A and B are shown apart, each in its own frame.
Chain A
Amino acid sequence: MGEVELSCLAYAKMYLHASQFPRCSVNGLLLSSSPAGAAVCITDCVPLLHSHLSLAPITQLALTQVDAWCSQTQQRIVGYYQANACVSDSSPTPCALKIAEKIFEQCNNTVLLMIDGEKMFPSCRVPPIVMYERKDARWALKDKHAIMLRQWEETCSIVNQLFSSGDQTLLVDFDSHLDDITKDWTNQKLNAKIMELISPANGNV
């Protein structure tokens, strides 16, 4: 399988999502606005749930809605991320594998990303993520060298800036949207803030 590139926007929102609900398992979908090819470029993500990840109705609902939004905005669902409540265990749960399988039915470059809670501290030099890919009918660890995060230092600094400005509270996940449907799970406002912070450093991450 080819390279996977993770954009600053996608990384920042995943990180913020896991930070917003430190006591819960959280999950979400990884999106790409690039055409399908050998390499996968994860350009955005949609944070989904922070409760009852393994219950079907809301997950199905979220997948359908995100699918609909993707076709309106020329994006594709290319993967799934999850952060476990139990920080010491970052292995994919049955629920994670199930959803990744479902996405794999439509996208043969599906990425399964687990967030490693133990590495989520400000001075950490390594991205707190573990990636899996579909190989020989199972999900195997992806070679670290095939994963790219452009401008890693800038990405870290952008995440820190979001925390210090209090903008991390802007993040809305699908669960929060269902609690108050005036909240926007596509996070247009937060996306704009993040893109503002990105643009001086790198034109098109």
Chain B
Amino acid sequence: MINLSEVYKMRDKLRKWREENYRNSEQIVDVGEELINEHASKLGDDVWIIYEQVMIAALDCSRDDLAWSCLQELKRQFPDSHRVKRLAGMRLEALERYEDANKLYDSILQDDPTNTAARKRKISILQAQGKSSEAIRELNEYLEQFVGDQEAWHELSELYINEHDYAKAAFCLEELMMTNPHNHLYCEQYAEVKYTQGGLENLELARKYFAQALKLNNRNMRALFGLYMSASHIAASPKVSAKVKKDNVKYAAWATSQISRAYQMAGRGKKENKCSVKAVEEMLESMQITMS
């Protein structure tokens, strides 16, 4: 017999995953299914948000049986809710019944044109169908109205990256950096886009933003490698002045020492890391030769 404190532990786990927006759907189904099947009465009002969370996770794991039963409970408790209607739409999406899902979302939007959740689901359907240019167009229109929606800006940057439209991806990331100046991931992604665009000016921007990302989080390995690679490329370019070359050689050397240090600490005592550590060492050596 499970005791109350264990039930609360499971409930708290679900809350943590919900708050941090983890998509660990198999785990959520594992924990959540037991909770709602055996202990629903002990959860109080939390049970409804748990039904919602478990339902979405169940869709992710192709557990239509579980998703359906969660949906029924929610429909019974909240018969006219748009939020529940959206969940019904998501189930139709999971079954690839996109036309039916769209009809549902359209009916929500007729009732409430400001319902952002329904609009975003419609855009997700376009993505699932591989209609990227339409998804991009709809998302742009959405952002004209809801200009503060971070999630949407990030989604748009991802779509542009997939379409190799790096200039527009950079624009989206600039929006995100402006509103989230302390987020090292946005800086680092922006730097990666700039690096990909290429050319001396973009490489210098890339280096600056990799450096910025490191300032915000000195353990961001992508930013560290990015700084190393952009500085090395700038230093190796025939178009730069002697001073710029010297500065970038310095940046690259600093990055090299940080990378070596990080890998030495990581490799300590772990036999299986020897291969990756050695590969990095050799790579750094070979790039140093080409730079001088």
Contact = CB atoms under 8 A, between A and B. Distances in A.
A122 interface: no
B52 to A, nearest CB: 20
Contacts of B198: 56
A68 B280 CA distance: 8
B195 interface: yes
B273 A55 contact: no
Contacts of A55: 161, 192-193, 195-196
A50 to B, nearest CB: 13
A120 B86 CA distance: 29
Contacts of B128: 86
Interface string B223-234: 001100110000
B272 A65 contact: no
Interface in A171-190: 177-179, 181-182, 184-186, 188-189
B283 A184 contact: no
Interface residues of B, number: 35
A48 interface: no
Contact of B164 (A23, A61, A65, A94): A94
A57 B196 contact: yes
Interface string B267-286: 00010110110111011001
Contacts of B72: none
A74 interface: no
Contacts of A69: 275-276, 278-279, 282
Interface in B151-173: 161-162, 164
B272 A188 contact: yes
B266 A61 contact: no
Contacts of A73: 275
B49 interface: no
A68 B283 contact: yes
Contact of A178 (B221, B270, B286): B221
A57 B273 contact: no
19 contacts: A52-B161, A52-B192, A55-B192, A57-B195, A57-B226, A58-B225, A64-B283, A65-B280, A65-B283, A67-B283, A72-B279, A88-B130, A94-B164, A95-B164, A181-B276, A182-B266, A184-B273, A188-B272, A188-B275
A71 B280 CA distance: 13
A89 interface: yes
B250 interface: no
B219 to A, nearest CB: 9
A45 interface: no
Interface string B251-273: 00000000000110010001011
B291 interface: no
A58 B280 CA distance: 13
B222 interface: yes
A66 interface: yes
Given A64-B283, A68-B282, A184 B192 contact: no
B276 A185 contact: yes
A64 to B, nearest CB: 5
A56 B278 contact: no
A73 B280 CA distance: 14
A189 B273 CA distance: 10
A182 B270 contact: yes
A54 interface: yes
Contacts of A52: 161, 189, 192
B164 A184 contact: no
A117 to B, nearest CB: 12
A60 interface: yes
Contacts of B162: 54
A55 B169 CA distance: 11
A23 B25 CA distance: 12
Nearest to A22: B60
